[in-house]
């Protein structure tokens, strides 16, 4: 554990960590775990826009990774960005319509936020692919 004493030291620490994450990504660009850890680091530091940027960059590398889409949507839901989560899940099911757990997560999220009509609409779209 690193003890940080002031804002300047904190910013320096963030820069160093980001550089390490970027180096890891350059070394193994296709390794989804590196991207997810980087996004989680940004989330833990309340840098939500940066975390989104990391996820979007990761999707440019592998937009067919259902795990990556799921992690991205879970990040948005965990931070209560419901509309962002909707957008992520909607993009995911358009790109990967045969991945059932993405549909399930999408319908479940709509149910959890209390939007039954949207939940039903998502479920009906899902059944068109089933």
**Distance of alpha carbon 46 from alpha carbon 129, whole angstroms:** 37
- Residue 2 predicted with pLDDT over 80: no
Structure tokens at 38: 């980087």
Position with higher pLDDT, 129 vs 54: 54
Q: Buried b vs exposed e over 78-98: b needs ≥16 C-beta within 10 Å?
A: eeeeeebbbebbebbbeebee
* 120 lies in some domain: no
* 53 lies in some domain: yes
- Residue 102 predicted with pLDDT over 90: yes
Maximum alpha-carbon separation in the chain? 57
Query: In the prediction, which pLDDT does 1 show?
Result: 58
- Residue 90 predicted with pLDDT over 70: yes
Q: Which of 102, 97, 52 is nearest to 78 (CA)?
A: 52
* 89 lies in some domain: no
* 50 lies in some domain: yes
Task: Report how many domains make up the chain.
Answer: 1
* 86 lies in some domain: no
* 95 lies in some domain: no
Residue range(s) defining the domain that contains residue 13 = 1-62
* 67 lies in some domain: no
* 40 lies in some domain: yes
The per-residue pLDDT for range 19-66, each reduced to its tens digit, is 999 999 999 989 999 999 999 999 999 999 999 999 999 999 999 999
Query: In the prediction, which pLDDT does 4 show?
Result: 72
Q: How confident is the model at residue 3 (pLDDT cuts 50, 70, 90)?
A: confident
**Single pTM value for the model:** 0.92
């Amino acid at each position: 554990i690193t003890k940080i004493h002031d804002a300047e030291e904190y910013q320096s620490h963030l820069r160093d960590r980001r550089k390490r994450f970027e180096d890891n990504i350059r070394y193994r660009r296709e390794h989804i775990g590196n991207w997810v850890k980087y996004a989680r680091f940004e989330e833990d530091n309340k840098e939500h826009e940066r975390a989104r940027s990391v996820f979007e960059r990761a999707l440019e590398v592998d937009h067919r990774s259902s795990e990556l889409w799921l992690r991205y949507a879970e990040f948005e839901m965990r931070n209560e960005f419901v509309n962002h989560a909707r957008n992520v899940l909607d993009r995911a099911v358009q790109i990967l319509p045969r991945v059932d757990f993405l549909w399930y997560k999408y319908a479940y999220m709509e149910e959890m936020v209390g939007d039954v009509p949207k939940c039903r609409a998502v479920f009906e779209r899902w059944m068109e692919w089933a």
